[in-house]
Amino acid sequence: MKKIHKLLIANRGEIALRIMRSAKEMGIKTVAVFSEADRNALHVRFADEAYCIGPPPSSESYLRKDKIIEVAKKSGADAIHPGYGFLSENEEFADLVKKEGLIFIGPSAKSMETMGDKLAAKEAVSKFNVPLVPGTKTAITDIAEAKGIAKKIGYPILIKASAGGGGKGMRVVENEADFQNQMERAISEATSAFGDGAVFIEKYIMKPRHIEFQIFGDQHGNVVHLFDRECSIQRRHQKVVEEAPSCVLTPELRKKMGEAAVNAAKAANYYNAGTIEFILDEDMSFYFLEMNTRLQVEHPVTEMITGLDLVKLQIKIAEGEKLPFTQEDLAIHGHAIEVRVCAEDPTNNFLPDIGTLQTYRVPQGHGVRVDGGFEEGMTIPVQYDPLLAKLVVHAETRDLAMDKMKRAIDDFEISGVATTLGFGHFVMGHEAFRSGNFNTRFIENYFKPEYLNVKEDPFEKLLAAAFAVEVINASKAEVSNEATQSTTTSKWRKNRL
Ligand code: MV4
């Protein structure tokens, strides 16, 4: 047991603030690091001490292992929390931190290494009774042999890069004629992108749901899961809406998947917070995809349904404490939903938008939580992730949580940049989401940019309103989302009138 007195947070934005809040409550002093672009950032102001570590590009600041460790030593910090992104899944950094006599708030470098390589991860978990997508467990080198395997599995198949992850380095092959060509491209892409050309094949699950389990392990070999999160609503492999628990899992399936998640963590001798990603097929078969060896963006929905503070738990486990509960002690309370508020324009293919927060007023009320990193008047730096804030709601049931989210989005006032708030509102009102009958193709199946598009010219606005009235009058049976959305979402446009 080694008590932490001073914690360096090797991150920025909402997650740096989130970590500092828990540290402060535990009586732990906080040290921020920042780039030249973040001089006036909230995480700098909120920390007990803050040090500039370099120019705006991440490669010259938030990714500089040497500078971060130098600040830790200079400030007398005894531990480093990496947050998510940046150095959070870098096993070299975890190793370096430990070698310098500091505590890394996360798993061992060895666990990260195993889970960071998709093939090593599959190999490890396969011995622990964790279901894998039909496919190969080792890298394919012989194309003829691979074709044979693909034929047995059945097309379409998916080629994945072992060093990839989060959707990078994936290729769908529709038929045998395309196999060789796609395989060669996948290997060459993986080699240039990751410096590792190892690829493997899997059966392509066409309409999967993304369901992940939060797991927690201590340094004494105990592992539990903190239930599931449904994260199927994504674009370009970036989640936008997450919820806990998933509305499709029966208690039996949840128990089975939870056990598989715990086993997967045990396969990597895992400690601290981690996430086991599964895909769930239409026939309710589930398969392990990968493990994320960090605290995730969407961890608050798990906090809301379990009542636990995952950052405090991470810190205690890093100090060497045992998990303070067993699996049987844990239960799901109510339902939580998160909408990521990103400085992105959903009407422009979710491309990042830049600008200054001319208006920024957060919603309040029972069961509403906003984890943010900005305030009114701040300009969003272009160098980093466009996440402005996370809007999280908690209610007794999923229906009530969706209604609360709609209200909270209505109360969130942002102008100066386009955000994903209007998209979140669209999702909360969509029949597929409300019924629970959706998968990772939600956006391509149901979303059209026009649904959020309102012309800012007042005359055109009047026309749109007149049109909407006409639509409502014309059809009592089917007031389409297009019509209702087009008159209600003008407030989420960049320059609101
Ligand atoms: C798959 C798949 C279908 N079949 N594997 C995407 C990110 C990475 N974690 C793995 N991913 C997928 N792997 C097989 N065999 C579909 C996806 C996938 C996906 C998974 C989860 C959430 C969103 C997704 C969007 C597109 C593809």
The DSSP code sequence of 385-428 is --EEEEEEEEESSHHHHHHHHHHHHHH-EEESS--SHHHHHHHH
- Does any ligand 1 atom lie closer than 6 A to the CB of residue 229? no
pLDDT higher than 50, residue 475: no
Phi/psi at 389 (5° precision) = -165, 165
Q: Is the CB of 210 under 6 A from ligand 1?
A: yes
The residue contributing the CA closest to ligand 1 atom 21 is 210
Average pLDDT value over all residues in the chain? 92
Ligand 1 atom closest to residue 440's alpha carbon, by position in its atom list: 23
Ligand 1 center from residue 111 Cα (angstroms): 22
**pLDDT (0 to 100) of residue 342:** 97
Is residue 454 very low, low, confident or very high in pLDDT (cuts 50, 70, 90)?
low
Q: Look at residue 456 and tell me whether its pLDDT is greater than 80.
A: no
Task: Indicate if 407 belongs to the active site.
Answer: no
DSSP 8-state assignment for residue 224: E
Query: At residue 464, does pLDDT exceed 90?
Result: no
Give the model's confidence band at 297: pLDDT under 50 very low, under 70 low, under 90 confident, else very high: very high
| CB of 212 sitting under 6 A from ligand 1 | no
Q: Check pocket membership of 166 for ligand 1, CB cut-off 6 A.
A: yes
Q: Is 202 in the pocket of ligand 1 (CB under 6 A)?
A: yes
- Checking if the pLDDT of 486 tops 80, the result is no
Burial 433-467 (b: 16+ CB within 10 A, else e): beeeebbbebbeebbeeebbbbeeeeeebeebeee
pLDDT at 479 over 70: no
pLDDT in tens, 117-128: 999 999 999 999
pLDDT of residue 455: 43
pLDDT tens-digit readout, 206-250: 999 999 999 999 999 999 999 999 999 999 999 999 999 999 999
Which is higher by pLDDT, 462 or 56? 56
- Beta-carbon neighbour count of residue 367 at 10 Å? 17
Q: From the CA of 480, how far away is ligand 1's center (Å)?
A: 30
Task: Pick the range with the lowest mean pLDDT from 174-188, 256-270, 280-294, 381-395.
Answer: 174-188
Residue 495 has pLDDT above 70, yes or no: no
| CA-proximal residue: ligand 1, atom 10 (nearest) | 167
Using the predicted structure, report yes or no on whether residue 472 has a pLDDT greater than 60: no
**CA 474 / ligand 1 centre spacing (Å):** 41
Which positions ≥6 away from 390 have C-beta within 8 Å? Answer: 14, 297, 298, 300, 338, 339, 340, 341, 370, 371, 372
> Within a 10 A sphere around the Cβ of 165, how many other Cβ atoms?
23
Amino acid at 189: E
Nearest partner of 82 among 60, 101, 65, 66, judged by Cα: 65
Type of residue found at 72: A
Residue 12 has pLDDT above 80, yes or no: yes
Strands (E), 207-285: 209-217, 223-235, 238-244, 272-280
Find the DSSP H helices in 1-90: 13-25, 42-46, 65-75
**pLDDT of 368:** 98
The residue contributing the CA closest to ligand 1 atom 7 is 167
Q: What is the CA radius of gyration of the chain?
A: 23
Sequence-distant (6+) residues with CB within 8 A of 282 are 207, 439
Residue 485 has pLDDT above 70, yes or no: no
Whether 93 has a pLDDT exceeding 60, the answer reads yes
Tokens of 268: 């990597």
User: What's residue 492's pLDDT?
Assistant: 53
Per-residue pLDDT reduced to its tens digit, 101-114: 999 999 999 999 99
Among 12, 64, 229, 294, which one carries the catalytic annotation?
294
**pLDDT at residue number 169:** 79
Instruction: Check pocket membership of 323 for ligand 1, CB cut-off 6 A.
Output: no
Nearest CA to ligand 1 atom 17: 167
pLDDT at 468: 53
Residue of minimum CA distance from atom 16 in ligand 1: 205
478 — pLDDT class (breaks 50, 70, 90)? very low
CB 121 less than 6 A from any atom of ligand 1? no
